[in-house]
Each structure stands twice: as structure tokens, then as C-alpha cells.
């Protein structure tokens, strides 16, 4: 390879490094592997050395020393007697290298080298993307709207594109090409062809991450988000609490004059957000979740099945249900209870108080713990052998699968709901 060829080679090498953002050593290694693989098709095993500074390429054929009687292939083997004329103390199994003229490369060899380099570049790009975005599942990313088709926006994330389906943007919002957009990574898959990234702006996790971003106490863990229920662009409910005595969790979320919550609202289309206090007692938690309804009487119908009944007076009945049942649906997602809403005029309240009024959640929790201990003792199952249950914490549930099943609303009240 003459100086002109080396100069051209280095120019091409540096262009690849700059364009792809790949480490130079990876490109050089790919070149060496490509040259060696290409020569092998014609002349047997080889070793290639590329000087990353000058662009000089050196190629060596590599032949293994074998016993004279086992000599079969002159391209990959060299008989011991011949090898000793060159290296007297050489032994069987060692190798002899000979310099190869680069002009010996033909079109087929050059084509093979190109394929190997291209494949290695793709692998290196994929590795780079995985390193940069591989841990972004369930996180926020910021990208640029690059293009769109009938159903999808393509968001430029730097090394790759994320797919933002148009039914995953907030209802009513308009996105402009070339503008930056923040989205939630709802699905990230690493496959043989690269990284697949599915984005969303309607997912409840989008709101959760925004709150962590905008509210310092949430980010630090001083205020804990117990659960989030969302109907994008319309209304959301979030349940918060704090284990710090001197922190008022709802106040931390809202901020002075609503300053903090307004920063979040600006990014989600100004949908309404109800901030409620989480309570370990499901009766109180459900009451809080049914806000803005007040003076609601709640009964736990079945603690294990997570079924509850909420009784409201005429002034609060429509508020508890919400427009088209929206308020009670969100409350059900938030608390993970099936909530049946009724009015005092529709029930005999004394029967409900007699049937469910003695509920004590502390006793129910203790019963569950005792039952679990008994089952473990009876089965004589070690901790290692016990099946692990999937984490069903409130922040990891998408809250969409059993929307209608979780909520029971009296038909004669649903149409009058206007909350």
C-alpha cells in the first residue's frame, strides 16, 4: 500500500469514526478482522495489522506446523522439516507467518472485507445505542420530532429513533416537526436488528416521572408516590404520603399558590390532577380517593377480593361518580379496589353498617399474615423453593386492563354525574 492509498484509507477511517461516533479502535479492529477473513477465502488463515496513526496495513499468512506425515494443506499448514529450516527450534503446533502483498486481493476478497466491516459497524452502533439507552425502560427521554406517517411520530434520540404512536400523545395537543418532545419509554427491546423503543405521553408513568422531575421531595424520597391513576388530557389522581413528620406531602406537590403542580400541568395539556393522601386504612384511602366528593361512608365488602361500597348523600353522589363514571374509575385504579357507589336513598344504611361496620384493617392484615405462616409451615417449603410472586405494587400496574370490571355504578345516577 503506497502513501497515497494509506492517506485515502485514513481519511475514510476517520470519516466513519466521526459519522458513527464509534471508538476508533473498534473500527480498526473491524478492518483487521475483515482483511484477515477476506484473505482466508483465497490463501488460508491470516493475521492483519492496521496502524491507526498512518493507515498502513500489513497482512500475514498464518500456517500451523505439523508433522511431515500429517501435512495436507499448504495454505494452512507447513511441514515440520521445512519449518525448521527457518526456525530451528520450532515445534509442532506453533505457527509460521509470512508477509502477504496487498495486491493479491481480488474482487471477491475485497467484497468479503467490506461485508465484515459493515457488519461490525452495525454491531458497534448497536452496542453504542444499548450503552446510551439500554437502561431507559420506564424513564423519560427527550428527542426531536424528525418525521411522521399516518399513525406514528419518529423521534430522533441521537443514536436511534423512538416510535411515538399518535394514539399515545395527549388528546388535543399538536406536535410540530423539528420541535423537541419529552416522552416516556413504555417499551424497550434489544434484538438482533437493534433497539426498539416505544414512547408514550399518555402512560401514567409519564406523569409519575414528571412529578419526580419537578418536585424535589418526590425525587429525594421524602414524599412517596403510592399510586398514580390517569386519563390523559382529562384527569388524573395521585396518592402521596411521607414518613417524615415535618413534611406535608400534598403541600409539597402543589407548592405555594400551585406553582409546583402548574409546572407539571403545563407539560400534560393542563389536565386536572387530584392530589390525595394515601392511608393504610383502605376505608380512609377510598374516601380520600373519591375526592372532590365529601362525607362519603365507605364499607369494605370483601378485603381479600378488594371490594368496597361507597354511600354518598344527594349533594355528593354525582361528585363521587364523576362524569361518565370517571371519578370512581380513577379512584378504583388508585386504590385497587372495586368500588360500588350508591346513594343513601337507594340503600338501607343500617343494614350496611350492621353487615360491614365492624371492619378492622389491622385485624385483617394480621389474619393474612397468620394464614401465610400456616401455609408455609404446612407445606414445609423452604424460602429458596417458594415461587416468587410478580411485583404488583401500585406504581407498576398500568391500571387499564380491568377498568370497567373494577367499577360498579348505579345506572340511575351515571347520567346525572357532572363532576
- In this structure, what CATH number is given to the domain that contains residue 25? 3.30.1480.10
Task: Identify whether residues 177 and 188 lie together within a single domain.
Answer: yes
Last residue of a domain, one of 200, 221, 247: 200
Lowest pLDDT segment from 116-120, 189-193, 218-222, 347-351: 116-120
pLDDT digits (tens, 9 = 90+) for 186-229: 998 877 777 889 999 999 999 999 999 999 999 999 999 999 99
pLDDT band at 6, cuts 50/70/90?
Answer: low
396 pLDDT exceeds 50?
no
Last residue of a domain, one of 278, 311, 344: 278
Task: Identify whether residues 227 and 168 lie together within a single domain.
Answer: no
Last residue of a domain, one of 132, 159, 181: 132
For residue 1, the model assigns a pLDDT of 52
Task: Identify whether residues 292 and 412 lie together within a single domain.
Answer: yes
- Choice between 277 and 112, residue whose per-residue pLDDT is larger: 277
CA dist 169 and 228 (Å) reads 18
Task: Identify whether residues 286 and 398 lie together within a single domain.
Answer: yes
Structural domain harbouring 179? 135-200
Mean pLDDT for the chain overall: 83
41 pLDDT exceeds 90?
no
Task: Identify whether residues 100 and 209 lie together within a single domain.
Answer: no
pLDDT band at 381, cuts 50/70/90?
Answer: low
Task: Identify whether residues 64 and 182 lie together within a single domain.
Answer: no
386 pLDDT exceeds 70?
no
382 pLDDT exceeds 70?
no
- In this structure, what CATH number is given to the domain that contains residue 146? 2.40.50.140
Q: How many residues are given for the chain?
A: 419
Please report how many Cα atoms fall inside a 13 Å half-sphere around the Cα of residue 299, on the Cβ side: 18
- In this structure, what CATH number is given to the domain that contains residue 243? 3.30.300.20
Lowest pLDDT segment from 3-17, 104-118, 402-416: 402-416
Task: Identify whether residues 237 and 172 lie together within a single domain.
Answer: no
Task: Identify whether residues 9 and 121 lie together within a single domain.
Answer: yes
Lowest pLDDT segment from 32-36, 82-86, 189-193, 391-395: 391-395
| 222 CB neighbour count, 10 Å cutoff | 16
CA dist 359 and 297 (Å) reads 13
Q: At what angle do helices 326-335 and 314-321 cross, to 10 degrees?
A: 70
Task: Identify whether residues 245 and 208 lie together within a single domain.
Answer: yes
Task: Tell me the average pLDDT across 376-386.
Answer: 57
389 pLDDT exceeds 60?
no
| Number of domains within the chain | 4
For residue 81, the model assigns a pLDDT of 93
Percent of the chain with pLDDT over 70: 83
Percent of the chain with pLDDT over 90: 57
pLDDT band at 67, cuts 50/70/90?
Answer: very high
Task: Tell me the average pLDDT across 236-258.
Answer: 94
CA dist 337 and 351 (Å) reads 21
Task: Identify whether residues 13 and 123 lie together within a single domain.
Answer: yes
Task: Identify whether residues 100 and 214 lie together within a single domain.
Answer: no
Task: Identify whether residues 359 and 398 lie together within a single domain.
Answer: yes
Buried b (16+ CB within 10 A) or exposed e, 126-157: bebbbeebeebebebbebebeeeeeebbbbbb
Amino acid at each position: 500500500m503506497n502513501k497515497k492509498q494509506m492517506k485515502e484509507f485514513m481519511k475514510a477511517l476517520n470519516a466513519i469514526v466521526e459519522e458513527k461516533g464509534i471508538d476508533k479502535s473498534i473500527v480498526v479492529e473491524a478492518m483487521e478482522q475483515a482483511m484477515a477473513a477476506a484473505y482466508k477465502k483465497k490463501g488460508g488463515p491470516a493475521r492483519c495489522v492496521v496502524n491507526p496513526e498512518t493507515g498502513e496495513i500489513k497482512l500475514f499468512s498464518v500456517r500451523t506446523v505439523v508433522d511431515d506425515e500429517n501435512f495436507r494443506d499448504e495454505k494452512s499448514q507447513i511441514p515440520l522439516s521445512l519449518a525448521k529450516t527457518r526456525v530451528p527450534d520450532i515445534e509442532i503446533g506453533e505457527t509460521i507467518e509470512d508477509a502477504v502483498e496487498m495486491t493479491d486481493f481480488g474482487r471477491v476478497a475485497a467484497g468479503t472485507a467490506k461485508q465484515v466491516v459493515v457488519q461490525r459497524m452495525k454491531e458497534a452502533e448497536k452496542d453504542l445505542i444499548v450503552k446510551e439507552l439500554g437502561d431507559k425502560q420506564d424513564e423519560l427521554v427527550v428527542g426531536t420530532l424528525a418525521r411522521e406517517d399516518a399513525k406514528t411520530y419518529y423521534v430522533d434520540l441521537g443514536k436511534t429513533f423512538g416510535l411515538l404512536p399518535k394514539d399515545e400523545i395527549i388528546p388535543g395537543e399538536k406536535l410540530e416537526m423539528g420541535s423537541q418532545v419529552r416522552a416516556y419509554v413504555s417499551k424497550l427491546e434489544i434484538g438482533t436488528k437493534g433497539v426498539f423503543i416505544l414512547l408514550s405521553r399518555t402512560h401514567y408513568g409519564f406523569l409519575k416521572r414528571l412529578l419526580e422531575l419537578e418536585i424535589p421531595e418526590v425525587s429525594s424520597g421524602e414524599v412517596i408516590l403510592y399510586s398514580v391513576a390517569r386519563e390523559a388530557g382529562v384527569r388524573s389522581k395521585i396518592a402521596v404520603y411521607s414518613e417524615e413528620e415535618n413534611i406535608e406531602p400534598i403541600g409539597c406537590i402543589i407548592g405555594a399558590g400551585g406553582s409546583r403542580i402548574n409546572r407539571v400541568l403545563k407539560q400534560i395539556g393542563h389536565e386536572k390532577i387530584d392530589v390525595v393522601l394515601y392511608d393504610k386504612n383502605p376505608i380512609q384511602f377510598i374516601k380520600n380517593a373519591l375526592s372532590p366528593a365529601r362525607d362519603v361512608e365507605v364499607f369494605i365488602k370483601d378485603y381479600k377480593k378488594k371490594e368496597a361500597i361507597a354511600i354518598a348523600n344527594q349533594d355528593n353522589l354525582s361528585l363521587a361518580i364523576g362524569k361518565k363514571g370517571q371519578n370512581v374509575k380513577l379512584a378504583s385504579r388508585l386504590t385497587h379496589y372495586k368500588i360500588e357507589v350508591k346513594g343513601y336513598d337507594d340503600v338501607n344504611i343500617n343494614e350496611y353498617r350492621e353487615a360491614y361496620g365492624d371492619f378492622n384493617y389491622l385485624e385483617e392484615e394480621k389474619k393474612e399474615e397468620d394464614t401465610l405462616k400456616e401455609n408455609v409451615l404446612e407445606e414445609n417449603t423452604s424460602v429458596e423453593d417458594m415461587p416468587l410472586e410478580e411485583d404488583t405494587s401500585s406504581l407498576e400496574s398500568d391500571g387499564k386492563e380491568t377498568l370497567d370490571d373494577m367499577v360498579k355504578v348505579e345506572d340511575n345516577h351515571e347520567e346525572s354525574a357532572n363532576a
